[in-house]
Structure 1
Amino acid sequence: MGRGVVSCAMAASIPPPPRPDDPVRGILLMLVAITLFSIADAMSKQLTQTLSPLMVAWIRFATFFLLALLFVARRGGTRFLAARRPWLQVMRGIGVAGSALAMTFALKVLPLAEATAINFVSPAFITVLSVIFLAEKVGWRRWTAIAVGLLGVLIVVRPGSGVFQAAALLPLLTAAFWAGAVIVTRKMAGVGGDGPETTLIWTAGVGFLLFTLMLPFGWQTPDAGQVGFGVLVGLVSSVPHALVVLAYRHAPASALAPFAYTQLVTASLVGFIGFGAVPDGWTFAGGAVIAASGLYSAHRERVRAREARRIS
């Protein structure tokens, strides 16, 4: 269901309130969300040591779907089930589910900090897909930022070295799936999109259905402890998404974007506490390069948006 920085990209694509007026509160909410994302990832990694990644993803989405049903029921019930563009909602759900499954597989075999750092490249994928599917114009500065971000990925994975493993491609797949979900979200917003409640229930429902259909290819009977822990993972991983949305109600994207990248620090700390994993200098260096690329891309998007408002 996405990591911290990609969840921020999704939240940033939803129009914020006209007057975010408490940036300190927004930043604190963002930091709590980032920490919870890292804890949820660590819990998923722990669970994948005894349960297949597909089963872990299915339990998480079952929990997500139940929470979405409860939330929508309290907000007005079945009227939120009708989508203006149902196929776009299905595509978004597939993107979110694909991202969740790829990252769950990645967490099974990769250190937490390394998987997180590589996943930071999602803004680069978002930029590329926005050119292809939204016909956005991207100048040389943003293309350079994309190249720098990919360089950061190479620094982390070091292809050709003894530390490289093919599993490092899984966080890239995670980022690509989530970028697709972000692009679909922007597309829906551009055609008179559905409300957040409708998008929430469709995303949860599509993901749950998709993983349920895949279960015959990876079924593993869980015991009661695994189910309970999986539900807890689902709860912990669902809360930070709501916190990110709340953070954007209190602070502008420009203030929150840098803090999204603190997940490399929280992932490193949680990985060390939970698994004794100590990231090497290459992981931090590559993560810093990727973060710089993403922040510059976000800066250029804000510049273009400001210029467009001035012209209009």
Structure 2
Amino acid sequence: MDVEHGERRGQWLALAGFATLSCGDAIIKTMAGEWPPVAVATLRFSIGAVMLTSLLLWKEGPQAFWPRHPWLQAFRGLCLAGASLLFFSAIYVMPLAEAMALTFLAPIFTALLSGPILKEKVRPVVFVACAMALVGVFIVLRPNLAELGLVALFPLGSALFFSCMVIANRASAGHGSALSMQVFMSVVAAPLLLVAAIMGDATGLAPIAPIVPDWSVAARCAIVAVTASTAHYLIYLGTARAGASSVAPMSYVQIIVASILGWAIFGNIPDVLTWTGVAVIVGSGLFLWWRTRKSAA
């Protein structure tokens, strides 16, 4: 009974964490047109890096800042920067729920890439789930690709970066505490995003205007930094108590929260065909999770 209670508690913690992430995404979307996404991402991760670094120094001391494999941690930070920048750019121009749905390809990408990268056996069920997910992607992209062009593919790029980060997380398991793992990513992602912001402004591809944002933009970036760090901590606690396989389906609460916030704040109401595509993508992820857990059992 205690084991079941612990697993249920872990699932609720993870559920709260994933829901909080979607709330942060909605806050990011409110800044569309006020400041470029690359600048928002840079400020958000800079605040997060300072906050997490200070916390790590206080809790674990200076010795916690020496990673075992620096290049692996640098790769994790690169993936985090790429996933965040592409997703922030996507939700600036796309409905929140649709952008979120496309990022749910990440588990499929992770399952496919774990074979060639981690030398894990890729089971046939992965290819079945991948085919199902691609059908859903085409349905969701149907209006956006015609209206927005290649920008509509940003969520797919974000999902690919995120899946690479998940694989790198597996490879770095046991190399430090959960807090230090977050710090290593943040302190790499923030400078990379700053370089991207400077290059974007210099080339005119993403001019930063105004250079100094309104106080409300800075405040919202700070709020997202706090909520995202809190969300990741809740997800970590939930995973530690319930296990990764039990927590995985909880991530799909993000699409529910994103849909509610997209309708309430931005007036975005997905049509029936879009909901069909979302259901197919989510269904493919749940199918993969169910088959994986059944095989493990």
Q: TM-score, normalised by structure 1?
A: 0.85
Q: What displacement does 1:105 show?
A: 0.3
1:303 shift after superposition:
4.3
Q: Who is 1:128 aligned against?
A: 112
Q: 2:84 aligns with which of 100, 108, 120?
A: 100
Which whole-Å CA distance do the structure 2 matches of 1:22 and 1:225 have between them?
Answer: 40
Map of 1:177-216 to 2, 5 A cutoff?
Answer: 177-189=161-173, 193-216=175-198
The answer (yes or no) to whether the contact 1:98–1:177 under 8 Å persists in 2 is yes
Which of residues 13, 27, 32 in structure 2 aligns to 1:48?
A: 32
d(CA) in 2 for partners of 1:248 and 1:117? 22
Deviates more, 1:23-32 or 1:63-72: 23-32
In the TM superposition, residue 32 of structure 1 has moved relative to its aligned partner by 2.0
Which amino acid letter does the alignment assign opposite residue 138 of structure 2?
A: L
CA contact (8 A) 1:131 1:138 kept: yes
Q: 1:300 aligns with which of 267, 291, 295?
A: 291
How is 1:188-267 mapped onto 2 (pairs within 5 angstroms)? Answer: 188-189=172-173, 193-216=175-198, 217-218=200-201, 219-220=208-209, 221=211, 222-267=213-258
Which stretches of structure 1, 4 residues or more, deviate above 6 A after TM superposition? none
AA aligned opposite 1:126: T
The reply on whether 1:118 has 2:102 as its aligned counterpart is: yes
Q: What is the rounded CA distance, in whole Å, between the counterparts of 1:242 and 1:164 in structure 2?
A: 35
Q: Give the number of the structure whose residues are more often helix, by fraction.
A: 2
Contact kept in structure 2, 1:20 and 1:248, CA below 8 Å: no
For residues 34 and 50 of structure 2, what CA distance do their matches in structure 1 show?
24
Identity %: 33
Tell whether the 8 Å contact from 2:57 to 2:64 is kept in structure 1 after alignment.
no
Q: For residues 148-190 of structure 1, what are the alpha-carbon distances to aligned partners after superposition, in whole Å with 9 as ceiling and x for unaligned?
A: 111111111127985574222000000000001111111223x
Hey, what's the Cα distance between the residues in 2 that align with 1:261 and 1:96?
A: 20
For the 8 Å contact 1:58–1:208, the answer to whether it is kept is: yes
How much does 1:65 deviate?
A: 0.2
Cα shift readout 1:45-101 (whole Å, capped 9, x = no counterpart): 111321000111011101210121122022122111111111000001101111000
Q: Which one is further off, 40-49 or 246-255? A: 246-255
Kept in 2, the 8 Å contact 1:21–1:250? The answer is no
TM-score (norm 2): 0.89
- Report the equivalent of 2:276: 285
Q: C-alpha offsets along residues 282-310 of structure 1, whole Å, 9 cap, x if unaligned?
A: 2221111111211222233334545xxxx
Aligned equivalent of 2:205: none
Assess, with a 3 A threshold, how the Cα gap between structure 1 residues 20 and 132 changes in structure 2: closer, same or farther: farther
User: How far off its partner does 1:128 sit?
Assistant: 1.6
Which residue identity lines up with residue 277 of structure 2 in the other structure? G
- The structural deviation recorded for 1:236 is 2.0
Q: Give the superposition deviation at 1:28.
A: 2.4
Aligned AA (1:154): F
Instruction: Give the direction of change, closer, same or farther, for the CA distance of 1:27–1:100 in structure 2 (3 Å limit).
Output: same
How many residues get paired?
286
**Is there any run of 5+ residues in structure 1 with no aligned partner, and where?**
1-18, 307-312
Structure 1 vs Structure 2 CA RMSD: 2.0
State the alpha-carbon separation in 2 of the partners of residues 277 and 286 from structure 1.
16
- Per-residue deviation at 1:266? 0.9
